[in-house]
């Protein structure tokens, strides 16, 4: 029954003999090593025995699978080379492509691929610029941008909280519409669409030239004049506060108000220069000449008057 499965032994031995004549330099994989081990076991077995026929059948299967794998690898290599030629690589340079994908590329082929990659990037940028330009040329998008700017401006100017809340809700609706529109066109938050929105905003008069750097998104409201004016005022106020913080205050001079009583005033002898003292008799005379001051209504004075 084993003889029916293995086939004619003469054909198998002839196939093995032809395969042994090939070079042994490519035996570097696990399959090649297994084939080499089976060949050694086949030489050590007795021809015509059951072991010999089993090893022969296994060896034929491994050789057939290896040939099929080599055919698949060759087809894959040809497809890789054809793709390079289709991208613009010269045929002579494409033939230098190594069959093993893990091997490094030749310098000539690597330079060709770098040039093609840069060309592809430039073409992609031009395609995105064209798509963004076509998107902002649409009438609906321009009208929506102007309407959004007007709503934001009115919300900053109105003092009615109910009307302001309605405007802010409508601003959110317009922003969501712009977002969905750009997502459907494939221009959502691309650098080209953002640059085109800045340019169109200046053309429509809803954005100043010096405020283009403030636009960071393709669907958020543009900075309005009133909003920027409020920011400038707050910035100037903050700067003045900072300057006032670092100013050194001057020492305040003591000024005696006119409502201060005479007994709280500084005596004349203390205000005189050093060395010019007033005689005691003159001081005593001045004290007697001054009218009696009205006594203060204190608790001590009250009890003193009761005793007297």
Q: Where is average pLDDT lowest: 32-36, 188-192, 269-273?
A: 269-273
First to last CA, the chain: 153
Q: How far apart are CA 197 and CA 201, in angstroms?
A: 6
**Region class of 205: left (phi > 0), else alpha (psi between -120 and 50), else beta:** left
CB of 84 closer than 8 Å to CB of 94: yes
234-247 tens-digit pLDDT: 555 555 555 666 55
187-227 tens-digit pLDDT: 998 999 999 999 999 999 999 999 999 999 999 999 987 66
Q: How far apart are CA 99 and CA 96, in angstroms?
A: 9
CB of 27 closer than 8 Å to CB of 35: yes
Token duo for residue 111: 């330079």
Block residue for tokens 């003889």 = 3
Q: How far apart are CA 48 and CA 54, in angstroms?
A: 10
């Amino acid at each position: 029954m084993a003889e029916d499965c293995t086939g004619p032994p003469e054909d198998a031995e002839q196939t093995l003999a032809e395969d042994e004549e090939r070079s042994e330099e490519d035996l570097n994989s696990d399959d090649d090593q297994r084939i080499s081990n089976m060949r050694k076991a086949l030489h050590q077995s007795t021809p015509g025995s059951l072991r010999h026929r089993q090893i022969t059948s296994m060896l034929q299967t491994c050789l057939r699978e290896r040939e099929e794998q080599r055919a698949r690898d060759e087809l894959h290599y040809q497809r890789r080379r054809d793709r390079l030629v289709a991208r613009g690589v010269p045929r002579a340079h494409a033939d230098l492509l190594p069959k093993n994908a893990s091997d490094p590329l030749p310098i000539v082929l690597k330079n060709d691929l770098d040039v093609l990659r840069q060309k592809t990037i430039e073409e992609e940028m031009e395609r995105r610029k064209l798509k963004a330009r076509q998107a902002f040329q649409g009438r609906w998008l321009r009208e929506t941008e102007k309407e959004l700017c007007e709503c934001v401006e009115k919300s900053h100017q109105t003092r009615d909280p109910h009307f302001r809340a309605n405007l802010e809700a409508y601003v959110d609706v317009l922003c969501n519409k712009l977002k969905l529109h750009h997502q459907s066109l494939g221009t959502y938050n691309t650098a080209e669409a953002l640059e085109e929105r800045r340019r169109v905003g200046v053309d429509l008069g809803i954005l100043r030239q010096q405020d283009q750097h403030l636009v960071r998104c393709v669907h958020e409201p543009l900075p309005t004049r009133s909003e920027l004016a409020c920011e400038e005022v707050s910035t100037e106020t903050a700067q003045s506060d900072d300057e006032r913080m670092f100013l050194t205050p001057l020492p305040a001079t003591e000024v005696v108000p006119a409502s201060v009583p005479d007994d709280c005033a500084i005596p004349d002898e203390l205000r005189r220069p050093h060395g010019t003292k007033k005689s005691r008799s003159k001081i005593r005379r001045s004290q007697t000449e001054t009218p009696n001051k009205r006594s203060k209504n204190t608790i001590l004075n009250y009890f003193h008057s009761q005793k007297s």
